[in-house]
Amino acid sequence: MLGAVLLLVWWRHRTQAFARDLACSTMAAGLSSASYYFYRHAPPPYEQLAFAVGLCATILNLLFMSSGVMRLAGRRLHPVAALAMLAAMALVLILPSYANKLAYWPMVVLGVTCGLGALAAWWMRGASALERGVGPMLMVLGLNQLPLVYAGEEGLAANLFLSTALRTALVCVLLFAALARSAREARKLSARFALLTEHSQQGVVVTDGRRILHANPAALAIYGLAPALGAPERLAQLPESSFSAAALAGVHRQLQEGTLALANWEGRRKVADGQWRDLRFSAWRIDWEGESATQLLITDDTERIASARELQHQASHDELTGLPNRSVLMERLAQCCLADRSGAPHTLVVLNIDRFKLFNQSQGHLAGDRVLQAFAAKLRAALAPGAELMRLGGDEFAILEPGAAGAREMAQRLRAVCAQPLAVADGEFFIDASMGMAVYPLNAAEPDALLRAANAAMYQAKRTPGTALALAEQRFELMSSQALEQEQALRKGIRNQEIHLHFQPKVDATTGRLLAFEALARWHRPGIGDISPVEFIAIAEHTGLIAELGAMLLREACRQIALWRAAFGECVPVAVNVSPVQLLDPGFLQLVEQALAQHGVPARYLTLEITESAAVDNLDDTRLQLQQLRELGVQVAMDDFGTGFSSLSMLRNLPLHTLKIDRALIDPLPAADAVAVVRAICQLADALQLRVVAEGIETSAHALAARLAGCHELQGFHFARPMPPQEATQWLRLGLEGAPTPELAGVAGQD
């Protein structure tokens, strides 16, 4: 019975494991006494079974007593030590003869119990007064075996009586110790819970379904209540929109019934001070002061959700104007084109401010930002109901409007916005805009295709001066697509070295001997064929690839000159065309030096041809670059002379070596007026000590007239078309041998 009481204590307070072990020890001691009774009165062979049960009960009594006392003292009986004790006690209790067993058993119990009591007294010397009494009581319980040691069975009655009394007293002490320890554990857990919750940033509420049993300061603060007496009860009195007491009661019932282990939910709640908060709740079942309850964890996500909304707004809106950005436009287009299965029409306008980069350069970026803000405000005010305005980036906007019938009216409103001055802090400004309009599903049925159509129309509108609007057409998109395809192909062509040089000869106008070559770029695009230089040079200049392409061709020309010099020991000058972009590059001179040095080519073998328009547009910078090239030893020719706006002053100040008369002035030869113009140019060149090259010589009449007009060198299809390096090598061999050009044989010597 005493063991059962101790087990009940352990069952209710599982942390008191010593009560379980000592309960087992007490019940084993009772079983040992009962087995002795049956041993004395049971008929054979049952008395041997009773003897074996008594032996095992005695051993278990001592093992569980040792484990329980050690647990009470805060120690643990190691399994190896327990096995050693078991073996030792079994040997001591089994080996003696049958007649001496009754004397040995009490002595073993006495020794173990007294020794354990002495250890307990030492281990628990700093414990409470009640627990310190366990050690002496164990030693007294051990000494109670002396009547059996001295009197044998005659002392059994006294032994049993005293053992029962001592066990009862010991169990009472242990019961009080267990309850005291449980109370201390409860206070410790309560203090720990209070420490965790009182300073927690999350709200903690405990409820039994009808009342609020506990609410920490954070929970009160979340609901706008000040910590005060009765404040937890006020939580349940808040309106349903604030605390949702009815919903919490339903969750509490599910948790207590076991149908739900953990509940999670969230929502917006209006708290006591009138503010709305985004709250997240978690609830689970707990024991609270011996009763079943529900603990509620409340997290205030208001700031986190507000930050997430702000980040979402920043990701989907332009910071400067506050307008939705390109990602929002694509979402809206997807909704219009994909989600709307009815095919209802929508109108998309892409609008780009003309020359806005120039405005930023002249007025500053701050003024440019103000203009964009003012322009966005005017556009927003001009929109029809249901229309949306987005900023795609930079100076580009998009307008999406339901329907297509109002497209003309929208265009008129947009033109009116652009016609009005924009009033900003820096003054009033007028701007022009190019607009492209595309209609779904008329022009495109997919979001990307619709945007491409509007963009292509916008770029077409840019060809018209002033504010202009262009309606989407398939040919505009095809033009844009082809331009992009050509640009990408050119980039690959440069990277894969698909562009090579062909060489066209320049011959002496009098003797017909080879004087020089002009290196001309040729592109044989794989799978397409030959691409006109007019096309890919224009693309290179427009995309900025001209610098990379020009550098590659310059190095290729120097490489070919080096090959010819290695083959013949000599060479003629090779002219390479230079774009305005290259000429204005501060590093162009270093590029020329590196190309010459890389291939070991003397500077006299290289001639650079610049256009007349490049020299006129950037006269000062051009003069400086040409002077440095002349100091390097490189000759410079002015190409396409006669088509620009050259002045005598410019020709006199530029360090040129050669003038190349444009083919437009050569083609009319031998007309008298054309001859007069060419002769005047030659006379001017003679006065400035410049050589003259006539390009575009296609007939013998052209050649004769150009020579008679005073041209020094001739170049054109009449002598040779641009040819690959292998054919140019044959020309160079004949030229170095002094052989004249066959086409001039009938022209030489005629006046």
Between these two residues, 644 and 373, which has the higher pLDDT value? 373
Condensed to tens digits (0 to 9), the pLDDT of residues 406-445 reads 777 888 888 888 888 888 876 788 888 888 888 888 878 7
CB atoms within 10 A of CB 632: 13
Q: Of 593, 655, 582, 591, which Cα lies nearest the Cα of 623?
A: 655
What pLDDT does 313 receive? 80
pLDDT recorded at residue 479: 47
- Name the pLDDT band for 515 (thresholds 50, 70, 90): very high
99 pLDDT band, cuts 50/70/90, is low
**Phi, psi of 182, rounded to the nearest 5 degrees:** -65, -40
pLDDT for 650 equals 76
Dist CA 194 CA 188 (whole Å): 10
For residues 605 and 596, the answer to whether their CB atoms sit within 8 Å is no
Between 199 and 572, the more confident residue is 572
List the alpha helices (DSSP H) in 462-570: 474-495, 533-543, 546-568
pTM of the model: 0.48
- Give the whole-angstrom CA distance, residue 55 versus residue 58: 5
Percent of the chain residues topping a pLDDT of 90: 21
- Reported as a pLDDT band with limits 50, 70 and 90, residue 622 is confident
Q: How confident is the model at residue 508 (pLDDT cuts 50, 70, 90)?
A: very high
| 449 pLDDT above the threshold of 60 | yes
Q: Which of 398, 355, 359 is nearest to 376 (CA)?
A: 398
Tell me what pLDDT residue 601 has: 94
What values do phi and psi take at 76, rounded to 5?
Answer: -125, 140
pLDDT for the residue 342: 59
Average pLDDT of the residues in 628-633: 90
Compute the average pLDDT of residues 494-501.
Answer: 86
How many Cα atoms sit within 13 Å of 710 on the Cβ side? 20
What is the overall mean pLDDT for the chain?
A: 82
pLDDT at 121 (0 to 100): 86
Between 259 and 157, residue with greater pLDDT: 259
> How long is the chain?
751
User: Residue 725 is encoded by which pair of tokens?
Assistant: 């390096």
Contact between 213 and 288 under an 8 Å Cβ cutoff? The reply is: yes
The stretch 659-667 carries a mean pLDDT of 91
* Pairing outcome for strands 291-300 and 203-207: antiparallel
pLDDT at 750: 46
Q: What is the pLDDT of residue 736?
A: 85
| 670 or 490, which is more confident | 670
How high is the pLDDT of residue 568? 92
Would the pLDDT of 357 be above 60?
A: yes
Average pLDDT over residues 664-691: 93
548: exposed, middle or buried (Cβ count in 10 Å: 0-12, 13-18, 19+): middle
Total Cβ atoms within 10 A of residue 235: 23
Of 214-218, 501-505, 544-548, 745-749, the least confident: 745-749
- The token pair that represents 78 in the structure block: 């190691």
Return the percentage of the chain with pLDDT > 70, whole number: 88
Sheet holding 346-353, edge to edge: 388-393, 396-402, 346-353, 433-440, 468-471
What would you report as the CA-atom Rg of the chain, rounded to the nearest whole angstrom? 53
The DSSP 8-state label assigned to residue 24 in this structure reads H
- Report how far Cα 268 is from the mean position of its chain's Cα atoms: 31
pLDDT tops 70 at residue 230: no
Q: Is the pLDDT of residue 325 over 60?
A: yes
For the ranges 152-156, 261-265, 586-590, 708-712, the one whose mean pLDDT is highest:
708-712
Of 508, 502, 500, the closest CA to residue 719 belongs to: 508
Average pLDDT of span 642-657: 75
158-196 pLDDT, tens digit each:
777 887 888 888 888 877 777 777 777 767 766 676 666
pLDDT (0 to 100) of residue 749: 41
Q: Calculate mean pLDDT across residues 543-567.
A: 90
Q: Which residue did the predictor score with more confidence, 280 or 238? A: 280
What confidence tens digit (pLDDT) does each residue in 687-731 have? 999 999 999 999 999 999 999 999 999 999 999 999 999 999 999
**How far from 245 is each of 239, 250, 286, CA to CA, in Å?**
9, 9, 19
Amino acid identity, residue 62?
L
Q: Is residue 240 over pLDDT 70?
A: no
pLDDT at 221: 84
pLDDT band for 458, please (50, 70, 90 cuts): confident
Instruction: For residues 50-73, give the mean pLDDT.
Output: 82
Question: H helices of 546-643, where?
Answer: 546-568, 580-583, 588-599, 612-617, 619-632
The CA-based diameter of the chain, rounded to the nearest angstrom, is 166
Residue 523 in this model has a pLDDT that exceeds 80: yes
Mean pLDDT of 75-92: 78
Among 165-174, 283-292, 475-484, the range scoring the smallest mean pLDDT is 475-484
Q: Are 235 and 251 in contact (CB under 8 A)?
A: no
**Bridge-based pairing state of the strands 276-288 and 263-270:** antiparallel
Which residues, in sequence order, are CB contacts of 691 under 8 Å at separation 6+? 657, 658, 659, 685, 712, 713
The confidence score (pLDDT) of residue 314 equals 81
